[in-house]
Amino acid sequence: MANNTSSEYDAIIQVCKSLFIKKTKDYGTAWRILRPSSITDQIFIKAQRIRTLEDKKVSKVGEDIIGEYIGIVNYCVIAMMQLELDENAPQELNADKVAESFDAKVLETKELMAAKNHDYGEVWRDMRVSSLTDLILMKILRVKQIEDNEGKTLASEGIKANYQDMLNYAVFALIKLGVS
């Protein structure tokens, strides 16, 4: 993996984590109430909104594509945390533990990105941002189908791997959009 990619990735994650931690301080871990399918739908809403903004080029509510990609990164982290938390875990989690879990999920996802970048030669750098949006939407549809199949797959990667791919695609989009 190019050293530049690693540092760009880290810079994007810092932006996302900063917002995530601020919202955790504002709202606590209210996201704990969300079922996995609801988190998937939140990511779907954000990705679909990005696609609409890419096509129409105008936002009537003043939010931009960058904010939506940041939301996708953070909801993917939430989804991965929820997958590991027991349903009997408390709704309100310690903010420091949440930050540690955020870092652990991102580190594991970054390692996956580095391995794939090695094999694919950082092809994402030559892709359009709109293609990254479409890939996220495709991954969401895959997750929804796996959820509808009660988590069972015959030959496919599981839900977590799809969340990791979506997180990485969103980071790539943010890099391409010049966020730092």
Confidence at 89, pLDDT banded by 50, 70, 90: confident
Handedness of CA 60, 52, 138, 165 (dihedral sign): negative
Query: Quick one: pLDDT band at residue 30, thresholds 50, 70, 90?
Result: very high
User: 107-139 pLDDT, tens per residue?
Assistant: 999 999 999 998 998 999 999 999 999 999 999
Q: How confident is the model at residue 101 (pLDDT cuts 50, 70, 90)?
A: very high
> In the prediction, which pLDDT does 15 show?
97
Q: List the structure tokens of 62.
A: 């003043």
Burial of 144: CB neighbours in 10 Å, binned 0-12, 13-18, 19+:
middle
Domain-wise residue ranges, the chain: 3-176
2, pLDDT greater than 60 = no
- pLDDT band of residue 88 (cuts 50, 70, 90) is confident
